Amino acid sequence: MATATAQSARARQLVPKLAEPVAKKTLPRETVVLIAGSVVGVVLFLVGFLNAAGVLYTPVKPGEDSGLNPALDFGVIGLLAIMGPYGFLMAAKLRRISKIEERLPDFLRDVAEAGRFGMTLPDAIVVASRGRYGLLTDEIKHMASQLEWGVPVATALRLFEERIKTPLTSRVVSIITRANSAGGNVADVLTMVARDTREIQLSGEQRRITMLTYVTVIWIAFFVFLVTIYIMAAVFLPQMVLAGRGISQGSLSSAGAVTLSFGYVPILFVAFLVAVIVHAVGDGIMAGVLMNGRISEGLQHATLLLIIGWAMMRFVVPTISLS
């Protein structure tokens, strides 16, 4: 009896503290990564600008003169510093959210089944917490422990929502809290919410499967673009330079009848590199938007496309020397 009284007193002291809003003292990890990557990117952009102006000479490709190519190289590395860490971190976060929300309908169904046996909502949650729900398991057990200590169910659900921080969880908790406060048969409400949640997830999965075809087309089109540039740089442009030299050294050029300037051919390589950068970033963001409607997901695709495209243009595609 004394032990139960002591636990009840501790619970009464704990409930006001749990009801207080949790102070956010630190920025989210992805925001910190984005800020740090932006700082590094700005520094790299500055280095690239100084290389273009001839103030610095720090070529990425050995034996290359200063100018636009080193400037573009540092610009690309700066973009990678901004997009890469943030994009992959957000992609990992979205995958975690997806895994958490995937098991939420199972938990709601178990709570509804327990409620059909006459249990109150707190008791049903405690009983359902004995199951296994993947990444949700620890958080559900935490909520069940709070309910066993006498924390009101509305407060426990709100704290559960704050710990999970996913859009679907917020909607579900809001519906459950209002249904419980309004009274009536909460089990029926939970059953409908579980069914609707599962339908939303199946609809999203079907959309991702459908959009995967378009994302695959984007990747294939980008590689076709790279192969086309390689063929032009390895076959077509060298033949143009040889033809231009032949005409310049021929009799027609000496007589002044025909002149051909091929000194702008190396500029085409710079134009190709810029086109690859633009396509990689644009196509990658578009792939992420098509896949799940988020630009942050597209930054992961953009980073991979940019690395592949830049490496191929700078180290695989042959360059032409006019000397």
SS (H, E, C) 106-164: HHHHHHHHHHCCCCCHHHHHHHHCCCCCHHHHHHHHHHHHHHHCCCCHHHHHHHHHHHH
Looking at residue 245, its pLDDT comes to 63
Looking at residue 306, its pLDDT comes to 95
DSSP secondary structure string for all residues of 195-263: HHHHHHHHHHHHHHHHHHHHHHHHHHHHHHHHHHHHHIIIIIHHHHHHHHHHHHHSHHHHTTS-----T
Domain boundaries, the chain: 2-18+25-102, 104-184, 203-248+258-315
C-alpha span between 127 and 121 (Å, rounded): 10
Rg of the chain in Å (alpha carbons): 31
Pick the closest to residue 272 from 232, 243, 245 (CA basis). Answer: 232
One digit per residue, the tens of pLDDT, for the chain of length 323 reads 444 444 444 444 544 444 454 445 577 888 899 999 999 999 999 998 988 888 878 777 776 766 677 888 899 999 999 999 999 998 888 888 888 888 888 888 888 888 887 788 888 888 888 888 888 888 888 888 888 888 888 888 888 888 888 888 888 888 888 888 877 677 888 888 888 888 888 888 888 888 899 999 999 999 999 999 999 888 877 777 676 666 656 544 454 544 455 566 677 888 888 999 999 999 999 998 888 878 888 899 999 999 999 999 888 887 765 55
In the block, tokens 């973009």 appear at: 79
- Report CA dihedral (90, 95, 101, 103) to the nearest 10 degrees: -160
The one-letter amino acid code at 110 reads D
- 281 close to 82: Cβ distance less than 8 angstroms: no
Looking at residue 315, its pLDDT comes to 87
